[in-house]
C-alpha cells in the first residue's frame, strides 16, 4: 500500500476495523453508567493508546492493564495519572522499568515474594490481589490482611484490594451471573475489611452493572465488543470487525483470507455478517451462504473474543460507512 487508504476497498486484508458510531456509543454508554473513577477501563482488550486516550477523555482517568508493556506504553503516551497493573509481575527488569516510569503505577501482589520483588525494584504502591473464585491468581481472602501487613513492612503503600470475578463475567444467565458476582464480592469485602485502603477494584464488562460492591470496575471489552459478550444483552454495540477477502469459491462454500492467525478462537467460531462459518484454518475461514460471493469480494467477520483477536494485528482502521477515517496503532502489544 503506497498511500493512506480512504475507502474500505483500499485496505489490504485481513485487517481490523473499528466502526466509529458503535465505538462512540460504547464510550458514552459506559461513561454515563459508571462515570469518572467508577470505571477503570482495562486496556488489555484493545492494546491501543489512541483508544485509551478516548477513555480518559470520557472521564476515566485511571486505567487498568495486564502487562508491563501496556503500563509503560500508557505512561509514555502521557496516560499515567493512575495506572493499575492488575497482574503479578516477577521479572526484575520489568519491575525496575515500571518503578522508573513517569507515571503513578500500582501493581497487584498476591504473595510475600511478589511483594518483596515489587519493593526491591522500587515500586511504591500495591493492591492485594484476592482469589474471589476464579482460581487464577490471588491470595486466599483470609490471608489478605497478613499479606497487606507484610507489604507495608516492606515500605509499600497498600491502596486496597482487587478481586476479578472472571468466572462470572461471561455467564449468559443474568441471575446466575449476579449470584456468582455476589458470592465473589463477599470474599473481596471480607479481604478489604482486613486490608483497608481506598480501592475495592474488580469486575468486567459482563458485571459492570451488577457488581455494586466494588468501587471501580475494570471493564475492557465493552469498548469494542465480541460475540461472546454479544449474547449477554448488554447495551454495548459491536464495534470491532475483521475485514477479509474471498480468495476461493467452491461447490457450496467459499474461503476468505482470515484464519487462526487473525482471530482469537478460544471463545469459539467467529460469526460472519453474510454467511455461516464452517471452520477456520491457519490462514483461511470457510463459510457457506445462501448466495455465494465471488473471488475478490469482501466479507466482515465478527470475532468471538476481542482481546486475543486484537493482539494478532498491528493497527485498527477506523471506519464511517465505506470511508476510512483514521488508523490507530495497536501499540501496546507484547509483554
Ligand X SMILES: Cc1ncc(COP(=O)(O)O)c(C=O)c1O
Residues that bind ligand X (CB under 6 A): 42, 45, 86, 164, 166, 169, 204-205, 218-221
Strand order in the sheet with 62-65: 62-65, 82-85, 105-109, 125-129, 157-163, 199-202, 216-217
Name which of 131 and 257 has its Cβ closer to ligand X.
131
Name which of 11 and 219 has its Cβ closer to ligand X.
219
Listed in sequence order, the DSSP H helices in the chain are 20-33, 49-57, 68-76, 92-100, 112-121, 144-153, 174-195, 227-230, 306-311
Shortest distance, position 161 Cβ to ligand X, whole Å: 13
Neighbours of 97 (CB within 10 A): 16
Which single residue brings its beta carbon nearest to ligand X? 204
Pairwise CA distance, residues 115 & 300, whole Å: 46
Shortest distance, position 243 Cβ to ligand X, whole Å: 22
Name which of 164 and 287 has its Cβ closer to ligand X.
164
Shortest distance, position 155 Cβ to ligand X, whole Å: 25
End-to-end CA distance of the chain: 29
Name which of 86 and 318 has its Cβ closer to ligand X.
86
> Which grid cell is 72?
509503560
> Please, what sign has the CA dihedral across residues 301, 30, 36, 34?
negative
User: Which residues sit opposite 105 in a β-bridge?
Assistant: 83
Q: From 251, 242, 140, 136, select the one nearest 190 (Cα to Cα).
A: 140
Shortest distance, position 77 Cβ to ligand X, whole Å: 21
Shortest distance, position 221 Cβ to ligand X, whole Å: 3
Name which of 164 and 213 has its Cβ closer to ligand X.
164
Name which of 12 and 212 has its Cβ closer to ligand X.
212
> Which grid cell is 240?
470491532
Name which of 136 and 281 has its Cβ closer to ligand X.
136
Q: From 107, 186, 89, select the one nearest 151 (Cα to Cα).
A: 107
| Radius of gyration for the chain, computed over Cα atoms and rounded to the nearest angstrom | 21
- What is the SS3 assignment for 220? coil
Residue partners of 107: CB distance under 8 A and separation at least 6: 84, 85, 87, 89, 95, 98, 118, 123, 125, 126, 127
Shortest distance, position 182 Cβ to ligand X, whole Å: 18
Shortest distance, position 250 Cβ to ligand X, whole Å: 37
Shortest distance, position 318 Cβ to ligand X, whole Å: 20
Name which of 59 and 293 has its Cβ closer to ligand X.
59
> Which grid cell is 13?
486484508
Amino acid at each position: 500500500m503506497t498511500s493512506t487508504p480512504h475507502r474500505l476497498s483500499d485496505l489490504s486484508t485481513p485487517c481490523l476495523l473499528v466502526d466509529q458510531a458503535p465505538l462512540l456509543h460504547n464510550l458514552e454508554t459506559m461513561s454515563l453508567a459508571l462515570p469518572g473513577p467508577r470505571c477503570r477501563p482495562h486496556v488489555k482488550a484493545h492494546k491501543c493508546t489512541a483508544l485509551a486516550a478516548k477513555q480518559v477523555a470520557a472521564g476515566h482517568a485511571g486505567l487498568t492493564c495486564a502487562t508491563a508493556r501496556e503500563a509503560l506504553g500508557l505512561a509514555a503516551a502521557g496516560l499515567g495519572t493512575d495506572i493499575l497493573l492488575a497482574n503479578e509481575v516477577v521479572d526484575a527488569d520489568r519491575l525496575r522499568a515500571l518503578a522508573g516510569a513517569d507515571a503513578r503505577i500500582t501493581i497487584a501482589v498476591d504473595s510475600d515474594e511478589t511483594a518483596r520483588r515489587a519493593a526491591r525494584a522500587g515500586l511504591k504502591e500495591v493492591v492485594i490481589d484476592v482469589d474471589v473464585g476464579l482460581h487464577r491468581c490471588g491470595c486466599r481472602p483470609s490471608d489478605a490482611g497478613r499479606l497487606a501487613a507484610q507489604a507495608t513492612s516492606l515500605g509499600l503503600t497498600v491502596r486496597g484490594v482487587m478481586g476479578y470475578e472472571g468466572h462470572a463475567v461471561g455467564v449468559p444467565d443474568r441471575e446466575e451471573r449476579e449470584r456468582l458476582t455476589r458470592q465473589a464480592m463477599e470474599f473481596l469485602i471480607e479481604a478489604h475489611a482486613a486490608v483497608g485502603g481506598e480501592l475495592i477494584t474488580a469486575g468486567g464488562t459482563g458485571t459492570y452493572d451488577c457488581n455494586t460492591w466494588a468501587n471501580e470496575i475494570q471493564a475492557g471489552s465493552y469498548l469494542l465488543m465480541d460475540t461472546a459478550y454479544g449474547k449477554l444483552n448488554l447495551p454495548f454495540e459491536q464495534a470491532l470487525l475483521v475485514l477479509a477477502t474471498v480468495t476461493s469459491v467452491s461447490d457450496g462454500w467459499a474461503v476468505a483470507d482470515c484464519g487462526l492467525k487473525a482471530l482469537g478462537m478460544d471463545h469459539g467460531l467467529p460469526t460472519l455478517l453474510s454467511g455461516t462459518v464452517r471452520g477456520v484454518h491457519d490462514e483461511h475461514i470457510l463459510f457457506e451462504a445462501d448466495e455465494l460471493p465471488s473471488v475478490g469480494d469482501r466479507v466482515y467477520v465478527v470475532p468471538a473474543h476481542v482481546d486475543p483477536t486484537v493482539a494478532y494485528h498491528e493497527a485498527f482502521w477506523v471506519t464511517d460507512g465505506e470511508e476510512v477515517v483514521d488508523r490507530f496503532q495497536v501499540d501496546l502489544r507484547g509483554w
